[in-house]
Amino acid sequence: MLDSGVVWAVVSQPRLLVLLGVAVLVAWPIGTRLSPGHRRLGVLFVLTLGAVLAATTTTGELRPSLSGMRSYLGGFADPAYVIDGFGTSREKIANLGLFLPLGLLAARLWPRPFVVLAALAALAFGIELWQAFIGRGGDAVDVLHNTVGALVGIGIARLWRR
């Protein structure tokens, strides 16, 4: 069942709706070119990527700040902070689930799992850096959760191929 709070959070953010709309518009033309042998998977990957970007790169109130970026990058200097924060809240666990479908679909589209993992880890890093800049509070722990989620998705895709 869909939570009305989640629905309102989506409907009340024009930037998020615009990004979702763009994802829908470009999913077919871009997705079919990603992997001609797997057209549906390519389209689904573009839609999923668009939904992840819409959910993670928009904010209701834009507050650009370089100090937020410094704070975010400083989190990587303390490995204990990153590891101790693993799995400590529902939001952190949701970050695992956010990148799992991307890992699964990307690994089904492209046969190089280490390249897929590196690309998705870089995407997670970039998203969190952007969040830190726009005032959403990027977090190094979220990068770890997103990357582990992608890794689980890649693992499922590898098992699926067998």
**In terms of domains, do 42 and 68 share one?**
no
Tell me the pLDDT band of 32, cut-offs 50, 70 and 90: confident
Range of the domain at 136: 64-162
Nearest alpha carbon to residue 23 among 70, 73, 61, 57: 57
Q: How far apart are CA 18 and CA 159, in angstroms?
A: 36
**In terms of domains, do 84 and 116 share one?**
yes
pTM reported for the whole predicted model:
0.86
pLDDT given at position 115: 97
Tell me the pLDDT band of 11, cut-offs 50, 70 and 90: low
Split into its structural domains, the chain has a count of: 2
**pLDDT above 60 (res 3):** no
Q: What is the pLDDT of residues 90-147, one digit of tens each?
A: 888 889 999 999 999 999 999 899 999 999 999 999 999 999 999 888 999 999 999 9
**In terms of domains, do 157 and 78 share one?**
yes
**pLDDT above 50 (res 1):** no
Q: What is the pLDDT of residues 39-82, one digit of tens each?
A: 899 999 999 999 899 888 888 788 888 988 999 999 999 989 88
> Which two tokens mark 95?
């970050």
**In terms of domains, do 46 and 84 share one?**
no
Average pLDDT over residues 150-159: 96
**In terms of domains, do 43 and 114 share one?**
no
> Which two tokens mark 145?
């959760």
What type of residue sits at position 159? L
**In terms of domains, do 9 and 26 share one?**
yes
Tell me the pLDDT band of 85, cut-offs 50, 70 and 90: confident
Q: How far apart are CA 15 and CA 61, in angstroms?
A: 11
Helix (H) or strand (E) holding 73: helix 66-75
**In terms of domains, do 101 and 54 share one?**
no
